[in-house]
Structure 1
Amino acid sequence: MWSRLPVHTSPLCPLDQVVADLVQARRPYELSGGNIQEFQKRPFPSVQSLLNSENETETEKSPVTTLIVNKIINIMTVPTLPEQLAILWFMGSVIRWLISPTEANYNSMPEWLRPTPAQLECPHPIWMDLFLWPKAREKMCRSPEYHDKIDIMSGVSNESISINWPYQLSDMVMQVNGLGSEIVLTPAFERHMKDLKNWSVGPRMFEVFPGLADTGINIRSTGGVPGWSW
């Protein structure tokens, strides 16, 4: 199961193209062990690549994370650090497995982030693999009418996606001297973002996509922060 990859259509949007190009560029490095330094020998994805994206040393040490930050995270309209860190983590986890489909990389993803049967059976755009809620991914992959809705979906998500982090920003990251003074996510923040119940979007999601109302998406009545759009 861990080595069976999703079935993708040709890219339908810029996000699809960025991920497809990244996977195609980095997968050959698997044969030479060229991804080991970033994927196995330091925390992945690199928090430092997000916090200091202009650092050339980080670019060399973490080319995959740096590209995700520069080509995806920095293009998204996500102004708040908790959401930036959490989105980097879950996108990085999926993309790492697409590049390097090992059992360890598969198991590093929480169960809800792993591909559903429809992702493995039905051709679908890559952006759907990066949608949080598995029942929604399952339904959208099996329903072609959703496949070209990335602009609408991202617009709706842009209004309200949140991980509802209740603590201080300083409680999200810490420095680990034993790893060469790496900045990493705190265990508390990791636990919080890996619990799908902590993610939510606003009620307009079901107003625009009523067919997804039975797919387990966590709807928050009010509030939230801007999310992502393409």
Structure 2
Amino acid sequence: MLLELLPNVPNTTLATQEISSAIDLCETFLQHTVESPAAHLVPPDADGELDLFDHSPEYEEPPTPIRTKTAPDCLCGIDDQHNHALHCINHKAVNLIVNTHAAIAAGMRKALTFPRSPSIPNLLLPDVDSNPLTSIVGRALLNSSPAQLADSVATYFIVYRLLRWRICPTPETHYDLPEWYRPSELQKTWPHPLCIDLLAWPKLRNGIIPIYEQLDKLRLSRDITESIAVGWPEAEPLLVKDFRTNSAVLNPKFEEHIWKFSNWRMGPLWALRQPRFVDFVNMVESY
């Protein structure tokens, strides 16, 4: 099992009021039910590179975090060492996971569900929706995100999906993760912060975990953020109009695009700043 470090949560039983508060936030959102994720399938043209990963259909329970008094560093890019924990995705996400799982285990509420995909407006306005996941991920990306909008939306999309599975561990939420984004064996067995699990590249995740404490974490975070390139064609619109609701929605082709592992690349800046990790990611063709 993955042993994660949970900052600022004591080694004692979570307070009932604290648990109820977290679940109440989720239940407020659940009043606005959306379509079931089970109705969605893997994009049919997912590329052959996925043959490198385990295609086993068996569902796996997500790793269970443990609580500790230690407040770890993370890769969220906060300069002030988490003096403002509300901006730290590691802190907020793990707290939500632990609190909601503790509440469910205590029989306080029924299992939680979230929309299959996040609301795009929440990327810029993370507080306009009562969905706690979009608030967590949206706030983190407002603080530190790739320069290109398509790269930011792609990051927002898959990070949301991963956290959704961690909070609501069901076969459907597990199936909604690209195979290359599911935890590796090393991730399941080696203690490390949750934020490493959010990186798109399996080899990079596995490469960082054993030497994590030796790394310049803030620099690594910045280099990852500034190098991500999913290669969305400029001629293709990122948003399209949904004539049923008369609103702008994410282009359906975009999800198919970012589902392909080969489209998750790093730009030339990555090779200059992190040369030892070049072979752990896909590089842009110009490299």
Give the TM-score normalised by the residue count of structure 1.
Answer: 0.76
Paired residues of 1:7 and 1:119 also in contact (CA < 8 A): no
Aligned residue number for residue 207 of structure 2 = 139
Matches within 5 A, 1:79-228: 79-141=147-209, 143-145=210-212, 148-168=215-235, 170-175=237-242, 177=244, 183-215=248-280, 217-220=281-284
Amino acid at match of 2:175: N
Alpha-carbon distance change, 139 to 176 in structure 1, aligned in 2, over 3 angstroms = farther
Alpha-carbon distance in structure 1 between the residues aligned to 2:90 and 2:97: 11
CA-CA distance at 1:133 after TM superposition: 0.5
Match of 1:17 among 84, 91, 110: 91
Q: Report Cα offsets for 1:144-193 as digits up to 9, x if no partner.
A: 3466443121121233211111044634444263xx66754322111111
Aligned residue number for residue 227 of structure 1 = none
Alpha-carbon distance in structure 2 between the residues aligned to 1:2 and 1:85: 27
Paired residues of 2:242 and 2:249 also in contact (CA < 8 A): yes
Alpha-carbon distance change, 99 to 54 in structure 1, aligned in 2, over 3 angstroms = closer
- Which one has a bigger Cα radius of gyration? 2
Alpha-carbon distance change, 174 to 86 in structure 1, aligned in 2, over 3 angstroms = farther
Paired residues of 2:258 and 2:264 also in contact (CA < 8 A): yes
Alpha-carbon distance change, 206 to 194 in structure 1, aligned in 2, over 3 angstroms = same
Unaligned 5+ segments in structure 1 are 224-230
Paired residues of 2:266 and 2:284 also in contact (CA < 8 A): yes
Q: Secondary structure at the match of 1:5?
A: coil
Structure 1 residue 35 and structure 2 residue 112: aligned? yes
Alpha-carbon distance change, 119 to 49 in structure 1, aligned in 2, over 3 angstroms = same
Alpha-carbon distance change, 7 to 205 in structure 1, aligned in 2, over 3 angstroms = farther
Alpha-carbon distance change, 220 to 117 in structure 1, aligned in 2, over 3 angstroms = same
Q: Percent of pairs identical after alignment?
A: 25
Aligned residue number for residue 226 of structure 1 = none
Paired residues of 2:181 and 2:200 also in contact (CA < 8 A): yes
Paired residues of 2:93 and 2:136 also in contact (CA < 8 A): no
Amino acid at match of 1:12: D
Alignment coverage as a number of residue pairs = 210
- Structure 1 vs Structure 2 CA RMSD: 3.0
Aligned residue number for residue 42 of structure 2 = none
Q: Secondary structure at the match of 1:74?
A: helix
Aligned residue number for residue 75 of structure 1 = 143
Give the TM-score normalised by the residue count of structure 2.
Answer: 0.63
Alpha-carbon distance change, 104 to 181 in structure 1, aligned in 2, over 3 angstroms = farther
Bigger fraction of residues in helix: 1
Structure 1 residue 2 and structure 2 residue 63: aligned? no
